[in-house]
Chains A and B, each alone.
Chain A
Amino acid sequence: MLRYLLRRLLSLVVSLVVASMVIFAMVEVVPGDPAAYMLGLNAQADTLAALREELGLNGSLVARYFDWVGGMVQGDFGTSYTYRTPVAGMVADRVAISLPLALYALALSTAIAFPAGIWAAARRGRAADVTVMGVTQLGVAIPNFWFAMLMVLVFAINLRWFNAGGFAGWDEGFFAAMKSLTLPAIALALPQASILARVMRSSLLDTLNEDFIRTARAKGLTRGQALRRHALGNALIPVLTILGMQFAFLLAGGIIIENVFYLPGLGRLVFQAISARDLIVVESVVMLLVFAVIVVNFVVDLAYAAVDPRLRARL
């Protein structure tokens, strides 16, 4: 177990170092001077030079890379070029929206997908299965931003149950904040739930064809009992893989939904930073997301072990 953990830790560090180099190189190579962007069309050459100096853009690439990495190791993510505040604080503010949103969407998606997938697998080929498969096919096909706009039209403009967007802030209380995340979470959860339900169903059906299920049925269990006691646990591995990938996607990939609901989340921060050439923000946020993805994968690996005793023994 300890060796396994050490190996994972080492690969985590190597991944982070490689990622930091790739991110830095990619972001810095793209043309576009942050100072020129900030000062606009009438700026004079001496003003530009002064600002470049102030932002520390005049050092060599290598020196700047080590400055950046060195700072991050000590928890200093640098200062945003455009906002002129510490990146760490900005990211923390945004994570306070993106993380609850991702968890909310993930909870909704699992709450819908698990029962739907199990139900469809248990009633394979019957009306319930056809319905679930049809609806999820639609869920996968519908772009989530379009579905989001539709919900805004119905629930915000016509029924006035929700605001069309924005975030109430955690200061307004838990329920006000969750309320402003509800429509975005549903929009994010729908396609994820559809994918998850389909994976759940097919994984269960595969397992139901295994010999040990036949044995379970032979010793007198009903189809439902066999499914619950023996098939479900064995079918979870592919589902967990998808779930891990979805969480990473939800955390980073909410950009479009955050735009539709004008939520000040992580995705929108990166989006704005890219167009404003706020390089340090782009680098740090992407780095953070890489870190999050790696950690999530690690947690998923541990979860495999939890559901599959064979894997546990091998560690």
Chain B
Amino acid sequence: MSFIRFGAATAVAMALAAMTTGAALAKTDVTLALQLEPPHLDPTSAAAGAIDSVLYANVFEGLTRFASDGSIIPGLAQSWEISEDGKTYTFHLAEGVTFHDGTTMDAEDVKFSLDRARAEDSANAQKALFAAIESVEVVDPQTVKVTLSAPTGNFLFNMAWGDAVIVAPESIEGIKQTPIGTGAFKFTNWVQGDSITLDKNADYWGTPAKLDKVTFKFISDPTAAFAAVMAEDVDIFAGFPAPENLPQFEADPRFQVLKGNTEGETILAMNNKQAPFDNPTVRSAVAHAIDRQAIIDGAMFGLGTPIGTHFAPHNPDYLDLTALSNYDPEKSKALLAEAGFADGFKTTLKLPPPSYARRGGEIIAAQLRAVGIDAEISNLEWAQWLENVFKGKDYGMTIVSHTEPFDIGIYARPDYYFQYDNPQFQADFAELEKTSDPAKRTELIHKLETTIAEDHVNAYLFELGFATIAKKGLKGLWKDAPTQASDMTAVYWDE
């Protein structure tokens, strides 16, 4: 009897041992480092990209969503119909979707989320995305009808933003500390200043996540970032801040390095209403004075793609217009002389903190000096930059990366900080907003891209690169960053 019991106990012990070793072989957790920590966890009431970097697609989902290549795919809305006049969208929601607190996600939640975002007292940083919505109507629990005041060709794209995710009225109160969404991961813990933990959502309505646990760590200092990856404290660093270290990681057999694009058009913005930049010939002279490759190599260590207009090069509608502002210092000097500045002029170059601006600014100032333009550099903190340059428009030139996807519309806002006021462009953009026919849209987008490139509104430098360093064996990571996200839903260890 005791012998049998002993035997059974041994069998159980052996089975348990086999199970634990089996579990140990297939690693199911990941530690991912980001440079910036989110200020709070509500993607619908702040511009901070760091919030989306943690929560987008993982915890929160919208009606539609961005895929890794930037295309729009169904999210909580599994399908939709668009009326003939392009003004009514009927969304069919996925069945059996629950929030992480167990409540059901249905048409009422969609109505709540959209109405909250466009309300008068809304704190949504991208309120413009919802401007076209006239009414949101609950047809039945699985169907929502959204009526627009005018046809909006970009509406499905707008609904894919992190600012347009679906939230529940029951959990909105505590969303900034305890985000409750519908995603494949649920929020577990936040040690402020250090890390955020997400656990797999066992009740997920769609394809379940392959990982059981994701820990986000926040390491802002580039040297510390390098050390954390080298010491293998973290498995992934998304958006590695020091491009100069990438060759070292590429040579290391422990790591894989993914180099992709972001939606960040990095531009040398000029104050179009301030002399001498109100003269298009002067702006053209500035554009021709700039050697983009030298900036990419010098400031970004080769990470980045030259652009000739305000549009992401990986987008199918991108036109390569770099030839319109090719590097030609002689031409630049001739244009300056033509504009009456044969001896050059003096201006300001105000730089926000990111390294693309600070390092790039030094190189640009040197390139401008070569054609006779004396750009006096001053370094600003972000808050000062926003106050002084962005809001106060007190600047000659500045460098900034516009990271929102498809943001060419800022050129249709004459009060935007570079103050470009072209009625033709504004009319064309209004036309584009009403158009949903893809061929017609492409044609209009090409026209917009060309207009601002020919007007040399700003000097277009490069598309900001995105580098991810991960341990070998990790699969399913995004290479590009079509929106700020670290989509972990398809990531797994393959060792």
Contact = CB atoms under 8 A, between A and B. Distances in A.
Interface string A229-253: 0000000000000000000000000
Interface centre among B128, B220, B227, B381 (most CB of A within 10 A): B227
B231 A42 contact: no
Nearest to B129: A42
B332 interface: no
B494 interface: no
B194 A33 contact: no
Interface residues of A, number: 53
B127 A33 contact: no
A160 B20 CA distance: 26
Interface stretch (B78-86, B307-315, B384-392, B451-459): B384-392
A157 B225 CA distance: 12
B292 interface: no
Interface residues of B, number: 48
Contacts of B219: 165-166, 262
Interface string B115-137: 00000111111111000000000
B177 interface: yes
B230 A164 contact: yes
Contacts of B121: 50, 53
Nearest to A169: B191
A164 B381 contact: no
B67 to A, nearest CB: 23
B231 A262 contact: no
Interface stretch (B40-48, B147-155, B463-471): B40-48
A47 B124 contact: yes
A47 B129 CA distance: 13
A54 interface: yes
B426 to A, nearest CB: 17
Interface in B177-201: 177, 191-195
Contacts of A264: 191-194
Nearest to B353: A275
A38 interface: yes
Contacts of A30: 384
Nearest to A149: B223
Nearest to B381: A275
Nearest to A80: B39
Contacts of A39: 46-47, 123, 125
18 contacts: A30-B384, A31-B383, A33-B383, A36-B386, A36-B387, A38-B46, A41-B402, A42-B410, A47-B125, A84-B176, A85-B177, A93-B193, A157-B230, A164-B231, A262-B220, A262-B224, A275-B381, A276-B383
State the 7 A-B residue pairs at the shortest beta-carbon distance, nearest first. A264-B193, A40-B47, A32-B383, A82-B39, A164-B227, A164-B231, A277-B383
Interface of A: 30-34, 36-44, 46-47, 50-51, 53-54, 82-85, 90, 93-94, 149, 152-153, 156-157, 160, 163-167, 169, 259-265, 268-269, 272, 274-277
